[in-house]
Structure formats: structure tokens, C-alpha cells
Structure 1
Amino acid sequence: MTNSSAPCASPVINKRRTGPVTDDGPMLLLVPADVLRPRRPDEHFAAEADAARAAGIDVAVVDHDALARGEDAGRAVARVPAGTDAVYRGWMLNSARYAAMAGALAARGVSLRTSPRQYRQAHELPGWYDAVSDHTPESVWTDGDSRPAFTRACVQLQDGPAVLRDWTKSMKHHWQEAAYVPELADSDAAWQVAARLRELRGDDFTGGFVIRRFEAFTGAEVRTWWTGGDCRLITAHPDTAEVPPPADLDVTAVGAAISALGLPFVTADLTRHEDGRWRLVEIGDGQVSDRPRTTPAHDLIRALFG
């Protein structure tokens, strides 16, 4: 298997640290527990847990399923030792569930590197869009899922093709039926795509509809990993894990905008426009961004805690 990760080739953008992090970094990694063996890490994150321990970083497990269901957050984090700083690496949580986890951990004297406010800013498009708008497709969004609000948002972009998502996620694997709108001016057809997106997202639908002007991209996406405003690692995107990042990727321009967000740990997915420019597809909270299988776990742990 090819290793498709590399340190960021461009200069470090910003040495500033954000949040409750010491010079040595937090020394606790939190991962979801295995459903059948609740004292052990979930298999998907076991390699990262092993890499953390090998680097001298303690690991603790949380009950992700209980958190996601909105159950007692205190019980969900009961296996976390008290009184230290931590980073979560696990399955996605909505912003309210993440805040509940952070509150339960705080009651144990545990401070997450990424606060609930910072998590929401990175996790939901309205939180990061303005800071990086020069580097990403023009976007508008609704608050809620009503058709009138959707129609008003579409009018803001006027006409032409667009891509739909909600505040946190697209349904790009259902491209024709729930993501791509060939013509915004055809309001009935556009709403049909939006309604299908809403149906497929179900209870996970977050915030409202996001309408993004379609841009023609070429090649696979690249995932970049940023801690404290510094680009620390460049990897393949998990959807195209066998495609290594191109050698000519330069994150300098977008890096200044990402650094200005002041967020502790984020990912930024980039891809090449057909005119040759590198464009930002989306930003995500790094705690819940998937690591491509071609990137060794120790590379990510080193980038996160190094």
C-alpha cells in the first residue's frame, strides 16, 4: 500500500496556538469505544490509539453511541481519567452532542483542545465560509428546510448550475438525485433535488440547505490537516485514498485564511479547478475528519501532538 501523506510542503503559516494546549500539547487522546468490547478502542480508531500510546500519549475511550443518542454524557465519558487536556478523534457528533460531551468532560476536570464553539465553527459551513470565501465556491444558505427559504436562497445566486448540501454534509454519492442542480432558475427541479437531500439526510439534517455555485474541478481532492493555524500534514482524500497528493500543491494562499479562523484542529479539502487554481471544497473539524487508509496512523498523531 502506498503512503499518500506528506508534511506540508509550504512554509508554516502561523506559530500561534489556540485553546487549552501546553507547549507539549495535550497528552490524552479520546477515541470511541468498541461496541462489543467497551474497554477497547473502536477498530476504526485502534491504529491511532496504538500510535498515540507508542508516542507516550495516554488514550481513553468514550461511548460515542450514547453521546450520539443524547443519553447521559457523564456516563458516556466515565472511563476518561480526570484532570487533563484532551483531543477527540472519533465519529462525527452534531454540535449539541459535542457540547454535551465537552460539558461532561469539564465536570471531570478534562478540557478539550477544541471548545464547543470552535467545533461548531469548523463543523458547520456558515461558521467558516466568510473567512475563506475568496478560495471556495460562492455559497448561500437557509436556516431551516422550508421551500420558501430555499427558493429565496436560490434567487441570490440567480441562475446556472449549483451543488446542494446541508450545513455539515453533502450527499455527493447521490450526485444526480440529491446534490447537483443543473439550473437554479428551474425552481421546481431545484426543489426536487433539495427535497431528496433532505429525505436522505433524515434526522442527521443540520441547520438548513447550502447552495453552492458549481465549479468545474479536475482530479482527486486532497486533505490538508491544520493545528493551531499551521499546515502539518497533506494526505489523500479518504474517498480516493490511492491517489497521492500532487507535488505542486501550494497551500500558502488558502493557508492565511484558514489560520485567520483561529481554530485548533481542522481539515481543509482542496481540489484543482479546471483553470489550474487550487480551490477549497470544505473545512471540517479535524477531530471527526477521516484519515485515509493510505496514511499511517503515526503520521497523523505526530502532526496532531508534535
Structure 2
Amino acid sequence: MDTVLLLFPADPLRPRRPDPHFAPEADAARAAGAPVALIDHDLLAAGGDPARAVAAVRTPGWAVYRGWMLSSDRYAALTEALAARDVHLWTTPERYRRAHELPGWYAALAAVTPASAWTAGSDRAAFDEARRALGPGPAVLRDHVKSAKHHWHEAAFVPDLADGAAAWRVATRLRELRQDDFAGGFVLRRFEPFTGAEVRTWWIGGRCVLAGAHPDTPEQPPEGGPDLSLPAAAVAALDLPFVTVDLARRTDGRWRVIELGDGQVSDRPASLDPAALIEALLAAAPTPASR
């Protein structure tokens, strides 16, 4: 029976093999009878010829990518190059951007995620406008896609947005660290105190199909599981085919959404069985016969 094509990044050193990080998922796909093809992620991400990056893809039909992160623009280039080969990604470029960048999903989840304000670009005046819009108090800084949380005190945490000079120093350091990967603009998020490890949940067609540990803490599964009743309707309303939603328990006991991301480029924690993820995708994704 026809099934969806799974695309993975090739190993840069052995391009006929999948990148080792995604090899367990590629093996699980083959074991389930799904076709697998490899793309040159490094070439694509660096702005190289998308047609060359997908030269090894020869199976037409619907496809799902599982690999390293791509900017929204490079994902659009990947989509176009694959379409020239009659391969159609389940997630369109517009939906990828909506899931991949915080401004695309924030409004739908505003009631269950920290209050946020953002800029388009890295201009100081726009940053100050966003800072004043959010109001005084502590905040967490990131760009439209990602933070520098491993540089918490120098490039992520803003103790008080009322101190414009200090806040701008954090923003400047974030911009330096992110370099060419800086995406969209600055995002300021109201700081909320959380307890315990984050939980990563996987949603396909607006329905949660898997929940477990976050990749940063793969051996810390959630105690009792997150409360998905509040975000469920909002995630479904976003009409995104494949996403992850990261949640954490606030110190008052309420579960809050930390992040929503496109599932194609969301990391799988080592503690999550690759076969479980692949089987969930194969059960829900469109097949060549349904085109």
C-alpha cells in the first residue's frame, strides 16, 4: 500500500546514509514499510541550490520532513524544489512559518502562555517600543524562533524591562550569539516562575498523539502528565498538520505553554521510542493515493 515519504537529512560525511541523529527514525520508517529519502540539509540551510539538495529524492507523492531546523525561507525553497519532483510536503510554507515563528501562533495561545511583545528586525527603537508595551518587570528574551537560554544571564533573562539600557545589553548579546541565525526580530516574554522539567507533546491534525520528556531532560518524564484541556482547542484552531507544544507547570500549579514548534524540526528526546513517532505520522499523514 502506498504511504507517505519520510525525508531525513543526510550524514554530511556519508551522504548515502541518514544523519546519525535521525537514523533511528529512518530505521523505524523503513521497518514500517515507508519509503525514505535523504536531503542535503547543510547545502540547503547555507543558501545553496535547493535542486541539488533534493537530488536524491525520487519517490513522488506526499512527504514529511524530519530533520534539523530550517529557516522559513529555506523551508519554502525546499518545498518548491520538491514540488518540481512531484513531491509535496504535508506542511505548506505558510503553515511552517506559522508554527516555527512565535508571532504566527501567539495570538491563538495567548491565554495559556506568557504575555509577549516583539519586533520586526533588531532596531533599538522597535525594541524599546516592545519593552514599554510589555511593561516593567522581569522578562525572557528570544528571537522569533529561538532563545539563547544556555546563556541565561547575559542573553536571555532581563531582570526589569524598566531598565532600558540593561535590557538592550541583553538584546545586543542575543543578537551577537545568534549571528546569521537571528530570526525575524526580538521577542520579549513576561517571566513566569516554573517548577519541574518541561514536557514535550506531539500533535498531529490538531490532536495530541504523544506526550513525554523534553529533549533537554530526556530522563525526566512528566509527573502525572500535563493538563492539555486548555491548549487543545487553540492548537486545533491553528489548523497545523504536525506540531509540538512544550509545557511547564507554573509554581501556582497551572500548566503553561512555553513553545509551539513545527513537528518536522522538533527534536525527539532519546527516551521517546522513534517507532511510536513514525507510526503516529504514518497513520495520519496523507498518502500518494489521496492526492
Structure 1 length as normaliser, TM-score? 0.91
Q: Does 1:63 align with 2:34?
A: no
Q: Which amino acid aligns with 1:149?
A: A
1:234 Cα deviation from its structure 2 partner: 0.3
Q: Does 1:243 align with 2:220?
A: yes
Q: Does 1:253 align with 2:230?
A: yes
Structure 1 residues 25 and 203, CA gap change in structure 2 (3 angstroms): farther
Q: Does 1:54 align with 2:54?
A: no
Q: Is the 8 A contact 1:162 1:211 kept in 2?
A: yes
Q: Does 1:155 align with 2:132?
A: yes
1:62 and 1:86 mapped to 2: Cα distance? 12
State the SS of the aligned residue for 1:283: strand
Query: Of 130, 133, 150, which aligns to 1:173?
Result: 150
State the SS of the aligned residue for 1:132: helix
1:25 Cα deviation from its structure 2 partner: 9.0
Residues 151-196 of structure 1 show CA distances to partners (whole Å, capped at 9, x for unaligned) of 1110001200000000000011110000000000000000000100
1:39 Cα deviation from its structure 2 partner: 1.1
Structure 1 residues 26 and 92, CA gap change in structure 2 (3 angstroms): farther
Structure 2's unaligned 5+ residue stretches are 284-291
Structure 1 residues 25 and 167, CA gap change in structure 2 (3 angstroms): farther
1:83 and 1:291 mapped to 2: Cα distance? 26
2:109 and 2:201 mapped to 1: Cα distance? 15
Q: Does 1:97 align with 2:74?
A: yes
1:194 and 1:69 mapped to 2: Cα distance? 25
Counterpart of 2:182 in structure 1 is 205
Q: Is the 8 A contact 1:236 1:292 kept in 2?
A: yes
Structure 1 residues 25 and 133, CA gap change in structure 2 (3 angstroms): farther
1:133 and 1:226 mapped to 2: Cα distance? 18
Q: Is the 8 A contact 1:135 1:279 kept in 2?
A: yes
2:225 and 2:79 mapped to 1: Cα distance? 39
1:38 Cα deviation from its structure 2 partner: 0.8
Q: Which amino acid aligns with 1:49?
A: A
Q: Is the 8 A contact 1:268 1:281 kept in 2?
A: yes
Counterpart of 1:8 in structure 2 is none
After superposition, where does 1:1-306 map in structure 2 within 5 Å? 26-306=3-283
State the SS of the aligned residue for 1:177: helix
Q: Which amino acid aligns with 1:238?
A: P
When the two structures are aligned, how many residues end up with a matched partner? 283
Structure 1's unaligned 5+ residue stretches are 1-23
State the SS of the aligned residue for 2:48: coil
Q: Is the 8 A contact 1:25 1:305 kept in 2?
A: no
1:126 and 1:26 mapped to 2: Cα distance? 33
1:66 and 1:187 mapped to 2: Cα distance? 40
1:246 Cα deviation from its structure 2 partner: 2.0
Structure 1 residues 25 and 156, CA gap change in structure 2 (3 angstroms): farther
Instruction: Please report the RMSD computed on the Cα atoms of aligned residues, expressed in angstroms.
Output: 1.1
Structure 1 residues 41 and 80, CA gap change in structure 2 (3 angstroms): same
Q: Which has the higher contact order (CA 8 A, sep 6+)?
A: 1
What is the identity percentage for the equivalent residue pairs of Structure 1 and Structure 2? 64
State the SS of the aligned residue for 1:43: coil
2:255 and 2:192 mapped to 1: Cα distance? 12
State the SS of the aligned residue for 1:272: strand
Deviates more, 1:238-247 or 1:194-203: 238-247
1:159 and 1:148 mapped to 2: Cα distance? 17
